Amino acid sequence: MQIPGQLKKILSDTKRSAIIIHRNPDGDALGSALALKAFLQKKGHQTRIISPNEIPGYLQWLPGIDDVLIYDEQQDKIHQILKDSKVIFTLDFNDLSRAGKDFEKFLKKLKDKIFVMIDHHLEPSDYAQFMFSDSFKSSTSEMVYDFIVASDGKNDIDKEMATALYTGIMTDTGSFKFPNTTSQTMRIAADLMDKGINHNEIQTKIFDSFSLNKLHLLGEALNKLVFLPQYRTAYIALSKDDLTKHHYQKGDTEGFVNYGLALNDADFAVMFLENDNEGVRISFRSKGNFPANEFAKKYFNGGGHLNAAGGRTTKNLDETVNLFLEKLPEFLEQLKDKNV
């Protein structure tokens, strides 16, 4: 990664910045933001991380997390912080709509700010003066590592920053098993290990920290899994009632969709989640070359990566699943081929 001289100058001249992550933040969004914040602070910046909404429980152990501001809870304070900031980093998303409706509206009114995007999703929108956008990278955390190194900051990476970055890379690569994992990803992970992180403890905190309610909800989800062998597709639909029954907390269904792909003969896995007032949220995962993002984009107002995408509808759960079943045959040729 090369950082334009102009941006280097801006970052050394200004000492006030802010870091925004996407709604429903995950390990990569928070990991990359916490590391970037620590780095900027070492360079003398006053900076804060702003999450549009609450942080899921499984990430609340991350070093520095207590300092993250939540837009849903502290709008006025955050508006002031952003007005006072010269530079606004947006991490792990590439369209302002991912900050949520109200927040997006406010951000679009900020005309005199310098936006810096660091992100690995496809098709970035055009809102940032400086764009670091690379869909071949495993994670935004990997890119923030590159950004810090390109700013001659490799020695500034301490154990806490390394823990945050490692968490982001590990979660976005499914513990280094998804196709987005490259040799460079592994080299960076090795560098981060050399900073003294406890990688085993990070794994345990992220993956072996289910509540009993979450484990029971997973049981419910697996029981409801439907397999369509002719399409090599598995799907799970969870209703509001299913969630209520198991005392659903935000983040509880994180990772459930991947169980569909654990099926020997499945190349496409989908999970439908009925929301309180926002219709249905959908996660798509695929093996090989099947474009989960194209499917999500074409019929479910979404997008993402080739093997991991998201979408949503304003329909109810049954209507959404029916729409999915209606559109699936269109992709039969790509799905029935064992070697997609």
**130-133: strand order across its sheet:** 69-70, 46-51, 16-21, 87-91, 114-119, 130-133
Beta bridge partners of 235: 226, 270
Please identify, using beta-carbon distances, which residue of 139 and 283 lies nearer to Mn ion.
139
Closer to Mn ion at the Cβ: 118 or 234?
118
- Return the number of the residue (94 or 320) whose C-beta is nearest Mn ion: 94
Site map 208..247 versus Mn ion, x via CB under 5 A: ----------------------------------------
CA–CA dist 321, 270 (Å, integer): 10
Beta carbon of residue 137, minimum distance to Mn ion (angstroms, whole number): 9
Number of residues that bind Mn ion (CB under 5 A): 5
In the complex, residue closest to Mn ion by CB: 28
Specify the stretch interacting with Mn ion by CB under 5 A; choose among 140-148, 149-157, 215-223, 308-316.
140-148
User: Could you say which of 17, 18, 28, 233 contacts Mn ion (CB under 5 A)?
Assistant: 28
Q: Report which of 218, 211, 214, 250 is spatially closest to residue 236, judged by C-alpha positions.
A: 218
Which of 24, 92, 167, 170 binds Mn ion (CB under 5 A)? It is 92
Tell the smallest beta-carbon distance from residue 139 to Mn ion (Å): 5
Judge whether 18 and 88 are in contact, CB under 8 Å.
Answer: yes
Task: Examine residue 172 and tell whether it contacts Mn ion (CB under 5 A).
Answer: yes
Residue 254 is a binding residue for Mn ion (CB under 5 A): no
Ranges of H-type helices in 129-208: 140-150, 159-172, 183-193, 199-207
**Interface with Mn ion by CB under 5 A: which residues?**
28, 92, 139-140, 172
